[in-house]
Every structure is written in C-alpha cells, then in structure tokens.
Chains A and B, each alone.
Chain A
Amino acid sequence: MISGLTIAIGGIGPAIAIGLIASKAMEAIGRNPDAAPQIQTNMVLGLAFAEAIAIYSLVMALILKFV
C-alpha cells in the first residue's frame, strides 16, 4: 500500500515535467526544423533530469516492497 502510494504520488510531478519538456521541444522543432538534432539532445538531457525524480520514488518503492 505505502509502496504503491510512493510511486503513484512520486510519478505525478515527473509525468507533468516530461510532458511539458516534450511539448516545448516539439514546438521548438516545429518553429525551426533545422535545429532538430540539438533540440533533441537537450530534450533528452532534460528528460533524464525529470525522470530521475520518478526513479528516486521508484527505488524507494522497491526498497519498501522488497526489503
């Protein structure tokens, strides 16, 4: 129960963040398609940082579940 809540609540923020990052990156590519490779690299970087928060809560949930 607690571990389920940990990942459920912890996933909300990163989900919003990843959605915002991807939507802004797509917007930027739409405005300037020539810059797509650089935008994609930076987007992946931003996604990695946002996703890390979700991974922290995932690790906590797994520790609560299995240890």
Chain B
Amino acid sequence: MNISLAAEPVFYLSHIPITNSLLVTWILMLVIVLLGIFIRFGSWVIPNKVQSFLEVIYESSYKFVNDMLGPKITPQVYPMAITLLLFIAIGNLAGLLPGMGSLFVPLEKHGEIEWMPLFRAVTADLNMTFALAIIAIIANQYFAIKFLGFSHYIKKFINFSSPINFFVGILEIISEFSKILSFSFRLFGNVFAGEVLLAVMYYLVPFAVPIPFIMMEVFVGLMQAFVFFLLFIVFVKVSLAEH
C-alpha cells in the first residue's frame, strides 16, 4: 500500500516543489473557470442540461443562504459561500476519479528514482484545507467589519468595560483561531480517511467490494462540502448578530 500523509512532489519548478495536490488544484481551477466562462457567454433562453443543472444549484443554494442571512447581506456573502461549496465539492468528487493515486511519475531524488503518484485529491492535503479555512475566516472578519463597522467589530474582541468582558474578548479571539483548525482538520480528516479506507479496501479485495465504499465517499465528499458551506454561513450570521 502507498499511503502518505503529506502530498508528494511531482516535479520541481526551479527548486519549488509542485505537489500532486497542487497540480490537481490547477486543473480543477481551469475546469471551473472554463465552466464559468461557458455559462456566462454561452447561456441560452432554452437551457441545455449543464445550464439547467447549474441553475438548479444556483437557485436552491441562493434561497438557502437568503433564508439564513436575509435579503440585505446575502448578495455580498453568497459569491464567497458558493465558491467554497463548488470548489470543495468538485475537489472531493474529483479525488474519486480513476487515475487518482494510481498513475505514477518518476522523480529523481538524491540520485535515485522514486515513483510518485501523479494525481491526488485536492482536499487530501492539509495545506489546501488550511488555506481554505484561512480564506473563509478572513472573509468572515471582512463581512463583520463591513456590516457592523470597525469600532463595533473590535469591541467584540478588545473590551475594557468590565473584567468579564475583557476575558470574554480573549476567548472570542481564541475561538476565531480554533475555527480555522476545526474547519481544516474536519475537511482534511474526512477526505484523507476516505482515501485510506479505499486504499485498504483495494488492497484487501480489489474487485467489486470497494464499490459501496466509493458510493459512501461520494456522499461524504458532498456532505463535507455542504458542511463547510453551512458553517461558513452560520459563522457569518453569528459574527453579525447584535450583542
């Protein structure tokens, strides 16, 4: 079995290692951007299948966010939330495609040739999920400052009105950092555990038995993308709540 906790470098771009997760991230970015351009400039009055599918996703998710945040905030928050949802969902599902983890490329390391997997699921790399979590939390602070005003926002964290409020402010600062950790570990843990589970299943019984586990991984991948999306919206909602 070939299981590695960290993403493996595939090639070096003048001493900067390009890992297999990063490679897949670039490919997926290309796919998503092309899809966006295609929908933006190629939309028809009578929609084809791709367009109707995306319209269903758009309308249902917009309604969902609108129910939680209200019509004033939703137009600002929605693009960020749907970007996270789509990217994580597509990344999780792409990790289950054939060829992920089974195509190898040679990499010369200290004079010997090592064989590295060419593709790896995007979110099975802690760097990626950590980056996504940091983006989500910084966006959350941005929305809080934008809608509450800076003085009102900072009062939540640094407050000298009473000793209790001061310590509550410190706890709020710690909780913002723990949100980053829980976001990134949840996504990484689920996806990487799925990869390990599938690898073990392929190793034990290579034929037919892994199929239900693949179906479970499809469900888990979509579920985790939805949980990330939902938690992002809930954190924005909580940070905008009046005290």
A63 at interface by CB-CB < 8 Å: yes
Q: Which residue of B lies closest to A7 (CB)?
A: B193
Q: Are B185 and A59 in contact (CB under 8 A)?
A: yes
Task: Using A66-B3, A66-B5 as known contacts, say yes or no to A41 and B230 having CB atoms under 8 A apart.
Answer: yes
B5 & A44 in contact (Cβ 8 Å cutoff): no
- Please report which residues of chain A, range 38-62, place their CB below 8 angstroms from some CB of chain B when the two chains form the complex: 41, 44-45, 48, 51-52, 55-56, 58-59, 62
Nearest CB in chain B: distance from A4 CB, A = 14
CB distance from B202 to the nearest CB of A (A): 17
Q: Are A44 and B186 closer than 8 Å at their CB atoms?
A: no
The secondary-structure label for the interface of chain B is: helix
Chain B residue, CB-CB nearest to A57 = B189
Closest to A67 in B: B5
A residues neighboring B (CB under 8 Å)? 41, 44-45, 48, 51-52, 55-56, 58-59, 62-63, 66-67
B contact residues, total (Cβ < 8 Å): 18
Which A residues are in CB contact (< 8 Å) with B186?
Answer: 48, 51-52, 55
Chain B residues near A (Cβ < 8 Å): 3-5, 182, 185-186, 188-190, 192-193, 196, 223, 226-227, 230-231, 234
Asked if residues B3 and A59 are in contact (CB atoms below 8 Å), the reply is no
Query: A52-B182, A55-B185, A59-B189 given as contacts; is B230 within 8 A of A45 (CB)?
Result: yes
B193, A44: Cβ atoms under 8 Å?
Answer: no
Going nearest first, the 10 A-B pairs with the smallest beta carbon separation are A55-B189, A48-B227, A59-B189, A66-B5, A52-B186, A58-B189, A52-B182, A55-B186, A58-B193, A59-B185
Residue of A41, A48, A51, A62 near B192 (CB, 8 A) is A62
Q: B5, B189, B227, B234: which has the most chain A beta carbons within 10 Å? A: B189
Q: What are some 20 contacts across the A-B interface (CB < 8 A)?
A: A44-B223, A44-B226, A45-B230, A45-B234, A48-B186, A48-B227, A48-B231, A52-B182, A52-B185, A55-B186, A55-B190, A56-B185, A59-B185, A59-B188, A59-B192, A62-B189, A62-B196, A66-B3, A66-B4, A66-B5
Q: Which residue of B lies closest to A49 (CB)?
A: B182
Closest beta carbon of chain B to A38's beta carbon, Å = 9
Contacts of A58 in B (CB 8 A): 189, 193
A47 to chain B: closest residue by CB: B227
What's the minimum C-beta distance from B243 to chain A, rounded to whole angstroms? 22
A51 to B227, CA, bound (A): 11
In addition to A59-B188, A59-B189, 19 A-B residue pairs with Cβ atoms within 8 Å of each other are A44-B226, A44-B230, A45-B231, A45-B234, A51-B186, A52-B186, A55-B186, A55-B189, A55-B190, A55-B193, A58-B193, A59-B185, A59-B192, A62-B192, A62-B196, A63-B5, A66-B3, A66-B4, A67-B5
